Amino acid sequence: MTTLSHDRYCDEITDRTGQFRAPLTAGSDLFATVPTCPDWTLEQLVRHVGRALLWVELLVRTRAQEDVPIDDVPGTEGPGTRGDAAALDTWLAEAGAAAVAALREAGPDTRVWSWSGIHTTGFWARRMTHELVVHHADATLAAGRPFAPVAAEVAADAVDEWLQIVQFVQRVLPDGPAKDLRRPGASLHLHATDTAPGLNAEWLIELGEDGVTWHRGHEKATVALRGPLTSVLLAFYRRLPLDAPRLEVLGDRKLLEFWLERATFG
């Protein structure tokens, strides 16, 4: 499956980090619970994202060939004072800039460790793009702010990547929740209703005995999720409820709910 260019991913990380900072500069309540990550406050979510950016920066800059514990990465502890929006904003901005600088300098094909089996800097550029997209949605929900639609090609690539991650998890975590996503004859269809001509933003996902397979295309399935592409993406990531405005579930809703419960990293 074709991905975006390395430069585009770097641009997206820069832009999305800037948007992520908006609740901090607008005076949002840092102690507000994140509805989609209820174990976190908004501040904890920001610190999670900043830590991830600094971790990736170190992996890429040092060309790490094995995992580096995130707690061993300098600066990941973030500002020492809790509730200091200005300090948190500065720290996040610096983390984003450092990660992008390292990724741009390395280019997409430099070998570096990753958990995915794809040992390139390009993997990390793509992963952090979509990490920021989804967590930006979390942050805007926590701050009570509207979430703008994601660029169609970015949102479609995020769906592709998530499906690839589910396949990977099925292979490497045979006892994890995703192992149950094997129901021969069962299938899901994702159908974006608002994309521009030339972008195929429909997916058929089949839950075969040997694991999940998928491709882009318009085909009948056991259950279909239809709606604007950004809404489909966020629902597929469990950031929007299936009953959210403009989303429609056709067919076996319980199968879609079963997928959402088990399509997970852990």
Span 81-122, pLDDT tens digits: 999 999 999 999 999 999 999 999 999 999 999 999 899 999
For the four alpha carbons of 90, 94, 97 and 103, in that order, the dihedral sign comes to: negative
Span 33-61, pLDDT tens digits: 999 999 999 999 999 999 999 999 999 99
**Looking at the domain 172-262, which fold is it?**
Nonspecific Lipid-transfer Protein; Chain A (3.30.1050)
Q: Tell me the pLDDT of the chain averaged across its residues.
A: 95
Confirm if 45 and 24 have CB atoms less than 8 A apart. no
CATH number for 6-143 (one of 2.60.120, 1.20.272, 1.10.8, 1.20.120): it is 1.20.120
CA distances from 256 to 158, 165, 185, 231, 235 (A): 18, 18, 14, 15, 10
Report field, pTM of the whole predicted structure over 0.85: yes
Confirm if 182 and 169 have CB atoms less than 8 A apart. no
Provide CB contacts within 8 A for 171, sequence distance 6+.
211
CATH 1.20.120 segments of the chain: 6-143
| Burial of 136 from C-beta contacts in 10 A (0-12 / 13-18 / 19+) | buried
Span 236-262, pLDDT tens digits: 999 999 999 999 999 999 999 999 999
Q: Which two tokens stand for residue 117?
A: 């089996």
